[in-house]
Each structure stands twice: as structure tokens, then as C-alpha cells.
Structure 1
């Protein structure tokens, strides 16, 4: 297998693992942020969860997912209107599942999309800001997809700024319990993880083909729970590969 083929296999494996995470969601609004999550949500809509809803990223619910690349005269198959007020009804009612790519994740599952650096008044790198992440993480299901598993993402201690709820007792809002938090899984280019280790620690559920346990440990800035015999992540099958190519005909997922 060439390096290009190996890279494509790893990307498609992440997409399929992300898609599988929607299988038991039923009729839920999925918000995929980024190219890989977008392809994964579309794949899930076409395979394991045809009941899930997805918007065109503006105001229309789609009957079938849009391809990433489409001509100017393309007309999406729309099913209903999804204005801002209906979005918030879904958010607050818990009928939403978001997949995003935070810049940092810590041992508690807390995520950062806002800034890098110790000084919040003069950050080393300024990013999006906290935005709606506190409410998103409290109200509905969250999945993280990390294209490059490294210590820059999986940081020791806490994130430089905590944007989301996690399994951190000292930051748990009054009246909330860990049972109300739904951090579903983390998919990276090395493995798939969840939060079902001891005391909700991050746990490896499967390792991608060709990846070693030491490689995962070396690229994580804190201790994670690794079972004695972790599973191997399922590779994409021929049907999934064909659908992925139809969703992303120009291979934007590989860049």
C-alpha cells in the first residue's frame, strides 16, 4: 500500500467511525462542523440512520445530504424549514448531535475552540471564541473528530480556556450530574475513544489498523484507559467507499 492509499484509508476509517456514532440516534438533528464530520454525517444519513435530520447549513432540512461540490444550478432535496428558533428548540430539548474539531481536549473531556495561551487578555493565538459551546455541551450529544492525534490537542491539566462541560467535578454546574452529560466519542487518526473508563476517564474502544498502543500513549498528554485487548477499528467496506466518493467527488477530505 502506498502512502497516499494509506492516508485515504485512515481518513475513510475516521469518517466511517464517526458515521457509526449516529446509528442509534433516531430522528435527531445532526450538526457536522468541518469537512470530515460533514462527509460522515452524510454517510450516516444514507446508511445506518436514515431518520436523522441535517440542514444545508442555512435554513433548510434536507431529505438527502448535499454533496460537498455541486454546480451553481444545483437544487437540494429539501424537506422542511429550520429557522433559528427551531434550532434552539432542538438544542435545548436535547434532540441534537454535533460533531466538531476542538483545538484542545483535556483529561476531563473539556474542549477549547477559543484561544491558545496562558494570558486570556493577550492570547498567543486567537480563534473563534467560546461561542455557543457551553450550552451545546450541556444540552445535547457531542462527538469530537480529531484528524491529527497529538499532545498539542490532548493537553495535560486543563485546556487553556474551558469552552465545554466535561467530567470535571470542580466545574460541574450546580444541579447537574455526570449522568446528564453526553460526550459520546472521540475519533482520531489513531483510534476511537469514549468516556466509559473508570470515573468517566477517556477510554480507547478501538485502534486503527497498523497503530500501536505506545503510539497512542506517546501522542496523548495525559493518562487514558486502554483495555488489555482493544478492538481493531472496522475498515470501510466497498459500499461506504462508493458513497463517500459520491459525497466528496473532488476528494476534499484528503487535503
Structure 2
């Protein structure tokens, strides 16, 4: 935990703010968060610095209001059937924040299996929409438990396409490919380096650079000065606690 002003801010709340920042200035695009903390982050962004952000109920409706995590929308502004959802993906008017069972230094993501895909040790979700997401619209990642088992030298199967594989595939793959951020319970990462290798952008208060490096299974790009993830404002903290997630679901996803 850390003190922002006179109020103690939890690690989960820093993660919510970091996720919200991924949609800063996004304009009228569809936010597709996967996980409690990213969902809270998208709703916080909509209520503050990204009022044009489109939010869905996760099924087929666009929400005009911003209900608490786990609650149903009371005001609906549009219908979003599957075919229209795919049109938003293909046109790049969507920023998804997916999970990652494994992710490597170039942003390749795996949610399908652990071990050889022909005979995996663990069967996971499957590829799902990860390839289409990463080649058509911005795709960020949320990892609630940062460890060398997740941040790996080489993913066992590529689901979400990273910068090295997109480059190898050529212009048809790189044209709309962008992995803006990876956010974990330890810090925020991006790929703003000459070769698009993962860089540590900030650590959450209470976390050291050494902790992050030790919990990562490949060499991170670490700047000489690594800032802390920004503090929430008093209004953002009120919105998180009273409006977006009054039940405290965020604390079940991220340990303080």
C-alpha cells in the first residue's frame, strides 16, 4: 500500500489507474477489458479523461451509463451484435486488454496451452480472438500475478502476435499491429524501444526495480530512472471505491 495525500492507496487501486491510463485519449473506440481490474480501469477512464469511450456489457449491448463492476447497465445506448463487433475489430476502432498465461519480450502472448501444443502439459483457453485482435486493433495485456512463469523467454504457443513475428510476416501484419502496454501487479511496461523489446515504464509504489527484474524470465529494458506509477487523484479514488467497484472486487484480483 502507499499513501496518496492522506489516503492509503492499495496496490489494486494503482493497477486500476494504470489500466485506465491505457485508454487515455482513445476517443470513440470500444474498450474491451478482460478481468476485474481492467474492467474497473475502463469504467474509470470513461468517467474521467476519456468520456467518448464505448463500453459494452460483455454480451450485445453498448452501455450509456457506467454501472459498478458486476452490475447491469440501466441505460443502453446501442445494440452490438457479433457481426458489428467484428466490424469494429477489423476497422481498428477497439482497444482490447487481454490476459496472458505467457508473454515474451516482444509481446507474443499465449493463452492456449503450456508445453508442446501437440501434447501439452496444461490445456488453457485456446487461441480465441488473439491473432485477429493483435493484427487489427490495439491490444494491451493485464497480468495480475507477475512471475517468471508468465513473463517467459519464449511462449509455448503464439496466440497474440508480438512485434518480432509481425515484422517477420511483413506489411500486411504490421500495418495495424500495436501492443501499447502490459500492466501487471508490479508495474507498467511498453515496447517503446528501437527493436520493440519490452521496457519497464513504471513500478507501482512499494515495488522495486529489482523485484520486477527478478520476477521476469527475460532481460527487460530498464531505463536509468524508473518512475512510480502515478497516484490516483482524490476524485479517481472516490470513483473507484464508491462508483466503479464499491464491493472491492479489485482486491480479490490483486493482493496488496
The TM-score with structure 2 as length reference comes to 0.90
**1:232 aligns to 2:228 (yes or no):** yes
Q: Which residue in the other structure is 1:17 paired with?
A: 18
| Secondary structure of 1:99's aligned partner | strand
Contact (CA 8 Å) 1:8, 1:254: kept in 2 or not? no
Q: Which residue in the other structure is 2:43 paired with?
A: 42
Equivalent of 1:125 in 122, 125, 129: 122
Contact (CA 8 Å) 1:101, 1:144: kept in 2 or not? yes
Deviation at 1:81, TM superposition (A): 0.9
Alignment of 1:58-137 (within 5 A): 58-70=59-71, 76-118=74-116, 120-137=117-134
**Runs of at least 4 residues of structure 1 off by over 2 A?**
169-180
| Secondary structure of 2:85's aligned partner | helix
Deviation at 1:113, TM superposition (A): 0.7
**1:164 aligns to 2:164 (yes or no):** no
Deviation at 1:173, TM superposition (A): 2.4
Q: Relative to 1, partners in 2 of residues 1:179 and 1:222: Cα closer, same or farther, differing over 3 Å?
A: farther
Q: Which residue in the other structure is 1:52 paired with?
A: 53
Contact (CA 8 Å) 1:142, 1:182: kept in 2 or not? yes
- State the alpha-carbon separation in 1 of the partners of residues 166 and 82 from structure 2: 33
| Secondary structure of 1:11's aligned partner | helix
| Secondary structure of 2:32's aligned partner | strand
| Secondary structure of 2:90's aligned partner | helix
1:56-82 CA-partner distances (Å, limit 9, x unpaired)? 111111112221244xxx652111111
In structure 1, runs of 5+ residues without a counterpart are: none
User: Aligned residue pairs: how many?
Assistant: 247
Q: Which residue in the other structure is 2:143 paired with?
A: 146
CA-atom RMSD in angstroms: 2.0
Contact (CA 8 Å) 2:66, 2:73: kept in 1 or not? no
In structure 2, runs of 5+ residues without a counterpart are: 3-7
Equivalent of 2:183 in 184, 187, 190: 187
Deviation at 1:170, TM superposition (A): 7.9
Select between 29-38 and 228-237 the one with higher mean Cα deviation.
Answer: 228-237
Contact (CA 8 Å) 2:135, 2:174: kept in 1 or not? no
Alignment of 1:188-207 (within 5 A): 188-207=184-203
Q: Relative to 1, partners in 2 of residues 1:126 and 1:229: Cα closer, same or farther, differing over 3 Å?
A: same
The TM-score with structure 1 as length reference comes to 0.91
Q: Which residue in the other structure is 2:210 paired with?
A: 214
